[in-house]
Structure 1
Amino acid sequence: MPNEFKYVPKGFDYCKDISWDDVIKKISREYEVGTNKALLDERYAPTFVLMNGYFPGTIQKVYNEVSDREGVDEMHIYTSLGKGSPTFGKHNDTTDVLIVQSVGRMIYEVEDKKYDLYPGDGMYIPAGVYHAPFVLEPRITLSFAWSK
């Protein structure tokens, strides 16, 4: 678990293997079981917030690898379909998180400094640290956590 913010460029290249097909399967399952959540703004493509424990194919493989290496036991997936897709904006989390960019490019502003995230890049963000994601293109972003 992180005790301070840390940007890790190219530290998670093994997380670039998630397929859009598996993300689509996960989105479908979230709707089937009622755990679906989408962030909507009619001016932009949606963002899907995927939080249940169904991890098809490449998603399970990546989760297992990160869990083994980092000791995480939770994963949420944020999937946006276009530039400017909505996010939770500037916020902080109540738990430490590890953000890993799997597909596409994002900008994260953390404590007033901007970081470009490319596939394979990651960030450890301690609980309480404010951060704001900005979607630059279709993306798959993984958010891992350690339960307390």
Structure 2
Amino acid sequence: MMQSLPSLLAPQKGETVIDYWVSMSPAAPIFGVEWRFSSLFKETMPKAAGTPAMASSVVLTEGDMHDEDLEEAEEEAQAIEAAAMDDLTALKGVGPKMAAELNAMGLTTFAQLAEMTEANILDLSEKLSAFRDRPVRDDWVGQARALMGAPE
């Protein structure tokens, strides 16, 4: 039996204020709250076994976003990535080109270098295009630990 709209909008007994407001959103099942208006759309909403109905049917693609939104999202991602990166040129033996090469390999922070084992450093040395002895000779692991303030 379908409920009337005013009864759907009334807070349920024992419901918190946050649950009340979240239940107004079709994304409520993602947060573990039943969508308040699901009884109105029972026939039209797909149900996947074990998953909330709305969570399984909503997928955003690049075509759904405006160019401005895409640019803003890319700028935000770049800002987050840049904030997570350390300036590897602070290490002795690492210039801008070497730093770019290390970043391309996925090494972006002093913490990553500080955690490397001797085998990792030897593997890194082999992958470098030039100055392959620098990671060992200049003790990049020790320098990274020192720059982080960690004991060697």
TM-score above 0.5, yes or no = no
Choose between structure 1 and 2 for higher RCO, CA contacts under 8 A separated by at least 6 residues. 1
Which one has a larger percent helix, Structure 1 or Structure 2? 2
TM-score by length of 1: 0.23
Structure 2 length as normaliser, TM-score?
Answer: 0.22
